[in-house]
C-alpha cells in the first residue's frame, strides 16, 4: 500500500493523517499529528471469534519518554507500567470506540496508541481517538465511524471557545471539556470547570458536537483517498429459539427485580437464570449455546428493568425517577486522622480520609505531560468485600484510577492556593459498600473529610450520577442511579459541583441518538439532586473547621533572603538537619527563599522558626544582644550575636575605667550583654558596646610596650588563624604561595 497523507487545518491548528508506511502488518495503522505532536495508532482484529458474552476490546496508550527527549527514571531506565495519565487516556479512547461495534461482533480488537513525538504544546490524547477510528476504518472493520474527540476550552476573559487548546491556552481557561462521538451523536463527555453554570456547559457541548462533525468530515476525506476494502467479519447471530424460551419468563424476571435490597435482588435474579438454564435447555444445548443462553438471560433482565421504568415510572427499589436514596452522613468519623467523612447513599458507602503534609510531599510526575507534580492527590479503592465478593487485592485497576481522577477533578477548583494553605493534601476514599454511584459518594465523602480537616475550601462540592432509559421516542432520566440501572441503562452521567456551578462531569453513552437536548435535561435534573444532597451535607458540617486537628502538622511560613538559603542548610545539610533533630519539626526551603516549618507540637515549630531567624538575622545599629565570648584578642573580645555573625567588643568598652588585659574582665564562654554601635559598610564588621559595664579591676593596667607588641603580633596571627577556622580558606590557586602550609613540603625535582 502506498503512503497516503491528508493534511488540514481546523480552528486555527494544523493536523495530519497518514497511513501506508508504518506498521503495515496491523489490520490498520494511522500516524496522526497535531502541530508536532505525533502518535501512531494501530488496530488489530483477531482472526477467530471468542465465545464471550461481551465485546473483547482492549486499548493501550503507551507513553514513550523519548517523545519528550527524556530518559525514564528508575533503575531500569525503561518505560514500565502506565502512569495514571496513560491509563486515563486509554480509557478515554476506549469509551467512544466501544459503542461503534455491532452486537454479536466477537473478534478480539486491540488498539495501541504510541506517542512518538510530543512538542510540549499540543496534548496527544484527543487526536488518538480520531487515530483509532481511522485505523479501524482503514482496516475495513465493521466500525460505525468516523468518530472523533475534541477538547473545548474557554478563555476566561473573552468567553471564546477554543478547540484542542495548547497547554498554554488551557492555563487561561475556566473550562476543560473533552467530548467524543460521531457527527450524529455524542458517546463520551469529560469535563473539569471553575464552577461553570449548566447553561454554559451545555453551550460548550453543542459547540463541541459541531467541532466533532468537522473532524469526522476531514477523516472521511482521508478515508476516501485510502479507499479501504471492507472485510467480511462474521457477526454472531444466536439461535432464535433461545430468546423465545428465555423471554417466556418475563413476568418472573419482573417480579425478581422488584426488590430494594441489592444482594437479595441479585440472588433472586441469579436463581431465575439458573432455573431457566436447567429447565428450558438440555445438557447438549447448554454445552453448545452456553454464552448465548447467558446473553439472552441478561437481555431479559435488561428488557424487564427498562420496560418497568418506561411503562410504570417505577424503579427496582420503588423510587421515582428523580428521587434520591436515603442519606447517612457523618463528618469526623475516625479518631486521630487529620480529617474524615462517611457518606452513604442507599447501599453505597464511602469513607474518605484526609492527610496533610509539607509541600515537598507532593506527588512527582514522570510523564510526557509538562506538569511535574501535584499537591492534591485523590485515591479511590474498591475492595472485593464492598460488593460481597472474594478477590485479589493488588494494584489499582483502570476503573479505580478513573474514579479517583474524577473525584480529584471535582474538588480541585475549590481548594485553597499554596499561599493560602501551604500543604500537600491526600484524600483516600475507601468504598465500604457499592450499589452504584460510588465515585459520587467518594466526592461527597471527600468534601466532608476536607472540611473536617480544616482545609479552607472555597465551597463544598456534592455529586450525583444520572442515568437514562431510551426506548424509541420514550425517554426517562434517572437521578442517583444504582448498579442495575448503570449496567442495563443507556447512560452513566456523573455531575459534581457547588451551589454556584459545575466543577466536573463525566458521561458514557450506550444509546445512539443522544442529543445535547437530552443532556440539557439531565443537567437540570442533576442540579436539583446535587442541591438536595449538598443541603444534607451542610446540615452535618456547615463550614470547614476553624482549627486543624491536634494530630495534624501546623505549617508556619517565613521568607528569607535567597543568599541566606545556604547558611540555613549548612554544609551538606548539617545545619538544617540539626534544627530538625533538636526541635522535631520538618523544614522545607524553596528556591525563592520561602521556608515552610511543619510540626504537630506548636512549641517545636516556634523553636525551629527562632533558630532559622537567628541564622538569617542581620544585626542593625542600636540592637541589643546577649551572647557568649567566642574569641579573645589583645585589642578586644569577639561576641557571638547570631549563629553566623560575631561582633567586636573593643577593650576600651568592656568596663568602667582602664582595662589592661581582656582576660582581666572576660573569659571564653562568658555571656555578655552588648549593643551594636557601628557596622562597617564595606567589610560588614560589627562594633559593640557593653551594657551594664562593671568597674575595671584594681591593678589592671596596660602591659609594657614591648610585651604588648609581642602580644598584639601574636594576637593578630591567632586572629588570622581563627578567622581562617571560621571559614577563610587557604588560597590554592596556581601561582599563589601559602608559605606556612608548604613549609615542610619536599621540594619538587626539576628535570
Domain shared by 462 and 581, yes or no: no
| Model pLDDT, residue 744 | 46
- Is residue 710 scored above 70 in pLDDT? no
Domain shared by 211 and 259, yes or no: no
| Model pLDDT, residue 246 | 93
| C-alpha span between 51 and 123 (Å, rounded) | 38
| Model pLDDT, residue 229 | 87
Query: What's the pLDDT tens digit per position in 127-136?
Result: 999 999 999 9
Please state the rounded mean pLDDT for residues 665-678. 93
Query: What's the pLDDT tens digit per position in 649-661?
Result: 999 999 998 888 9
Q: Which residues contact 212 (CB under 8 A, 6 or more apart)?
A: 148, 149, 150, 179, 180, 181, 182, 183, 186
| Higher per-residue pLDDT: 667 or 707 | 667
Boundary-marking domain end, from 509, 538, 567: 538
| Model pLDDT, residue 536 | 97
The full 3-state SS of 162-204, as one line of letters, equals EECCCHHHHHCEEEEEEEEECCCCEEEEEEEEEEECHHHHHHH
Boundary-marking domain end, from 616, 650, 667: 616
pTM of the model: 0.82
| Higher per-residue pLDDT: 480 or 72 | 480
Q: Which residues contact 50 (CB under 8 A, 6 or more apart)?
A: 56, 106, 107, 108
Residue at grid coordinates 484542542: 164
| Model pLDDT, residue 701 | 62
Residue at grid coordinates 488551557: 170
Q: Considering the domain boundaries, does residue 321 fall inside one?
A: no
- Is residue 738 scored above 80 in pLDDT? no
Q: Considering the domain boundaries, does residue 83 fall inside one?
A: yes
Give the count of domains, the chain: 5
- Is residue 712 scored above 90 in pLDDT? no
Three-class DSSP category at 681: coil
Q: Which residues contact 652 (CB under 8 A, 6 or more apart)?
A: 659
- Is residue 720 scored above 60 in pLDDT? no
Q: Considering the domain boundaries, does residue 749 fall inside one?
A: no
Q: Considering the domain boundaries, does residue 744 fall inside one?
A: no
Does the annotation flag 563 for ligand binding? no
Alpha helix (H) residue ranges in 539-678: 565-569, 574-583, 602-616
* Cell numbers that stand for 653 in this block: 568598652
- Is residue 706 scored above 60 in pLDDT? no
- Is residue 462 scored above 70 in pLDDT? yes
| Model pLDDT, residue 703 | 56
Please state the rounded mean pLDDT for residues 344-363. 94
Please state the rounded mean pLDDT for residues 209-223. 96
Domain shared by 261 and 158, yes or no: no
Report in angstroms the alpha-carbon separations of 193 from 505, 564, 731. 9, 41, 61
HSE-up (13 A, CA, CB side) for residue 351: 9
Please state the rounded mean pLDDT for residues 430-448. 96
Domain shared by 577 and 661, yes or no: no
Query: What's the pLDDT tens digit per position in 90-142?
Result: 999 999 999 898 888 888 999 999 999 999 999 999 999 999 999 999 999 98
- Is residue 749 scored above 90 in pLDDT? no
Query: What's the pLDDT tens digit per position in 582-641?
Result: 999 999 999 899 999 998 888 898 999 988 988 888 888 999 999 999 999 999 999 998
Q: Considering the domain boundaries, does residue 457 fall inside one?
A: yes
| Model pLDDT, residue 321 | 92
Domain shared by 349 and 479, yes or no: yes
| C-alpha span between 437 and 492 (Å, rounded) | 9
| Model pLDDT, residue 734 | 43
DSSP-derived secondary structure for 439-457: HHHHHHHHHHHHHHHT---
CA angle 280, 285, 287 (to 5 degrees): 125
Domain shared by 35 and 128, yes or no: yes
Domain shared by 194 and 173, yes or no: yes
Question: What is the average pLDDT score of the chain?
Answer: 89
Burial of 642 (0-12, 13-18, 19+ CB in 10 A): middle
191, 504 contact by CB (below 8 A): yes
Q: Considering the domain boundaries, does residue 135 fall inside one?
A: yes
Domain shared by 213 and 274, yes or no: no
Domain shared by 459 and 344, yes or no: yes
| Model pLDDT, residue 217 | 96
Which pLDDT band holds residue 726 (cuts at 50, 70, 90)? very low
662, 637 contact by CB (below 8 A): yes
Please state the rounded mean pLDDT for residues 280-292. 89
CA angle 332, 430, 525 (to 5 degrees): 85
| Model pLDDT, residue 751 | 39
| Model pLDDT, residue 400 | 94
Burial of 620 (0-12, 13-18, 19+ CB in 10 A): exposed
Of 30-39, 522-531, 559-568, least confident by mean pLDDT is: 559-568
CATH value at residue 584 = 3.30.1370.10
| C-alpha span between 430 and 342 (Å, rounded) | 10
Please state the rounded mean pLDDT for residues 389-401. 90
CATH value at residue 159 = 3.30.230.70
Which pLDDT band holds residue 736 (cuts at 50, 70, 90)? very low
| Model pLDDT, residue 702 | 61
- Is residue 352 scored above 60 in pLDDT? yes
Boundary-marking domain end, from 312, 345, 369: 312
Of 25-29, 103-107, 432-436, 551-555, least confident by mean pLDDT is: 103-107
Which pLDDT band holds residue 527 (cuts at 50, 70, 90)? very high
CATH value at residue 292 = 1.10.10
| Model pLDDT, residue 481 | 94
| C-alpha span between 366 and 65 (Å, rounded) | 9
Q: Considering the domain boundaries, does residue 735 fall inside one?
A: no
Q: Which residues contact 427 (CB under 8 A, 6 or more apart)?
A: 352, 353, 354, 355, 376, 377, 378, 379, 407, 411, 446, 449, 450
Domain shared by 468 and 564, yes or no: no
Q: Which residues contact 241 (CB under 8 A, 6 or more apart)?
A: none
Domain shared by 212 and 70, yes or no: yes
- Is residue 1 scored above 60 in pLDDT? yes
Domain shared by 248 and 149, yes or no: no
Which pLDDT band holds residue 700 (cuts at 50, 70, 90)? low
Largest CA distance in the chain: 127
Q: Considering the domain boundaries, does residue 747 fall inside one?
A: no
Name, of 229-233, 521-525, 561-565, 693-697, the range with top average pLDDT: 521-525
* Cell numbers that stand for 254 in this block: 419482573
Could you list the residue range(s) of the whole structural domain that residue 659 is in? Answer: 624-712
Does the annotation flag 174 for ligand binding? no
Tell me the percentage of the chain whose pLDDT exceeds 70: 93
Name, of 41-45, 230-234, 282-286, 723-727, the range with top average pLDDT: 41-45
122, 214 contact by CB (below 8 A): no
CATH value at residue 640 = 2.40.50.140
Amino acid at each position: 500500500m502506498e503512503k497516503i497523507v491528508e493534511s488540514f487545518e481546523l480552528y486555527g491548528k494544523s493536523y495530519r493523517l497518514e497511513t501506508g508506511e508504518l506498521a503495515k502488518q496491523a489490520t490498520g495503522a494511522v500516524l496522526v499529528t497535531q502541530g508536532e505532536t505525533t502518535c501512531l495508532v494501530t488496530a488489530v482484529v483477531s482472526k477467530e471469534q471468542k465465545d464471550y458474552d461481551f465485546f473483547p476490546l482492549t486499548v493501550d496508550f503507551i507513553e514513550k519518554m523519548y517523545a519528550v527527549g527524556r530518559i525514564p527514571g528508575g533503575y531500569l531506565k525503561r518505560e514500565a507500567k502506565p502512569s495514571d495519565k496513560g491509563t486515563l487516556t486509554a480509557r478515554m479512547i476506549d469509551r467512544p470506540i466501544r459503542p461503534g461495534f455491532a452486537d454479536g461482533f466477537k473478534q478480539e480488537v486491540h488498539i495501541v496508541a504510541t506517542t512518538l513525538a510530543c512538542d510540549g504544546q499540543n496534548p496527544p490524547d484527543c487526536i488518538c481517538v480520531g487515530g483509532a477510528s481511522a485505523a479501524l476504518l482503514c482496516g475495513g472493520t465493521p466500525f460505525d465511524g468516523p468518530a472523533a474527540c475534541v477538547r473545548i476550552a474557554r478563555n476566561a476573559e473573552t468567553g471564546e471557545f477554543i478547540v484542542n487548546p495548547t497547554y498554554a491556552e488551557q492555563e487561561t481557561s475556566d473550562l476543560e471539556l473533552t467530548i467524543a462521538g460521531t457527527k450524529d451523536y455524542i458517546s463520551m463527555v469529560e469535563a473539569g470547570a471553575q464552577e461553570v453554570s449548566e447553561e454554559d456547559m451545555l453551550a460548550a457541548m453543542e459547540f463541541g458536537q459541531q467541532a466533532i462533525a468537522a473532524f469526522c468530515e476531514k477523516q472521511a476525506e482521508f478515508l476516501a483517498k485510502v479507499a479501504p476494502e471492507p472485510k467480511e467479519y462474521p457477526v454472531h447471530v444466536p439461535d432464535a429459539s433461545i430468546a423465545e424460551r428465555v423471554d417466556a419468563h418475563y413476568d418472573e424476571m419482573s417480579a425478581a427485580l422488584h426488590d430494594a435490597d441489592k444482594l437479595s435482588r441479585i440472588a433472586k435474579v441469579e436463581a431465575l437464570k439458573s432455573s431457566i438454564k436447567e429447565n428450558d435447555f438440555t445438557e447438549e444445548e447448554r454445552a453448545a449455546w452456553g454464552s448465548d443462553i447467558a446473553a439472552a438471560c441478561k437481555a431479559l433482565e435488561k428488557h424487564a428493568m427498562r420496560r418497568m421504568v418506561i411503562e410504570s415510572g417505577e424503579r427496582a427499589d420503588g423510587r421515582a425517577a428523580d428521587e434520591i436514596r436515603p442519606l447517612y452522613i457523618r463528618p469526623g468519623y475516625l479518631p486521630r486522622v487529620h480529617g474524615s467523612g462517611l457518606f452513604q447513599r442507599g447501599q453505597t458507602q464511602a469513607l474518605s480520609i484526609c492527610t496533610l503534609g509539607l509541600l515537598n510531599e507532593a506527588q512527582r510526575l514522570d510523564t510526557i505531560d509538562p506538569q511535574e507534580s501535584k499537591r492534591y492527590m485523590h485515591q479511590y479503592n474498591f475492595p472485593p468485600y464492598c460488593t460481597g465478593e472474594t478477590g485479589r487485592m493488588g494494584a489499582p485497576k483502570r476503573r479505580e484510577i478513573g474514579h479517583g481522577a474524577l473525584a480529584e477533578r471535582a474538588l480541585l477548583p475549590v481548594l485553597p492556593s499554596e499561599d493560602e494553605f501551604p500543604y500537600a493534601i491526600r484524600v483516600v476514599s475507601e468504598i465500604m459498600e457499592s450499589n452504584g454511584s460510588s465515585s459520587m459518594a467518594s466526592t461527597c465523602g471527600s468534601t466532608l473529610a476536607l472540611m473536617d480537616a480544616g482545609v479552607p475550601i472555597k465551597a463544598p462540592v456534592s455529586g450525583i450520577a444520572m442515568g437514562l432509559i431510551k426506548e424509541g421516542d420514550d425517554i426517562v432520566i434517572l437521578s442517583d442511579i444504582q448498579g442495575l440501572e448503570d449496567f442495563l441503562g443507556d447512560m452513566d452521567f456523573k455531575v459534581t459541583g457547588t451551589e454556584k456551578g459545575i466543577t466536573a462531569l463525566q458521561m458514557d453513552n450506550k444509546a445512539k441518538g443522544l442529543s445535547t437536548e437530552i443532556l440539557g435535561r439531565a443537567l437540570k435534573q442533576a442540579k436539583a439532586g446535587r442541591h438536595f444532597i449538598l443541603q444534607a451535607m451542610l446540615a452535618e458540617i456547615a463550614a470547614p473547621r476553624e482549627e486543624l486537628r491536634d494530630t495534624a502538622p501546623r505549617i508556619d511560613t517565613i521568607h528569607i533572603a535567597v543568599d541566606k538559603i545556604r547558611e540555613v542548610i549548612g554544609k551538606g545539610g548539617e545545619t538544617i538537619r540539626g534544627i530538625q533533630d533538636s526541635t522535631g519539626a520538618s523544614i522545607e526551603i524553596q528556591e525563592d527563599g520561602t521556608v515552610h516549618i511543619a510540626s504537630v507540637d506548636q512549641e517545636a515549630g516556634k523553636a525551629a522558626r527562632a533558630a532559622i531567624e537567628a541564622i538569617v538575622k542581620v544585626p542593625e545599629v542600636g540592637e541589643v544582644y546577649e551572647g557568649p565570648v567566642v574569641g579573645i584578642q589583645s585589642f578586644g573580645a569577639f561576641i557571638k550575636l547570631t549563629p553566623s555573625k560575631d561582633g567586636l567588643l573593643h577593650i576600651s568598652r568592656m568596663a568602667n575605667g582602664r582595662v589592661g588585659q581582656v582576660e582581666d574582665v572576660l573569659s571564653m564562654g562568658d555571656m555578655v550583654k552588648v549593643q551594636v554601635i557601628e557596622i562597617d559598610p564595606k567589610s560588614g564588621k560589627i562594633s559593640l558596646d557593653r551594657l551594664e559595664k562593671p568597674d575595671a579591676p584594681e591593678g589592671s593596667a596596660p602591659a609594657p610596650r614591648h610585651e604588648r607588641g609581642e602580644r598584639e603580633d601574636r594576637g593578630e596571627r591567632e586572629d588570622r588563624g581563627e578567622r581562617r577556622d571560621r571559614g577563610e580558606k587557604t588560597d590554592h590557586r596556581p601561582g599563589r604561595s601559602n608559605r606556612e602550609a608548604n613549609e615542610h613540603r619536599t621540594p619538587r625535582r626539576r628535570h
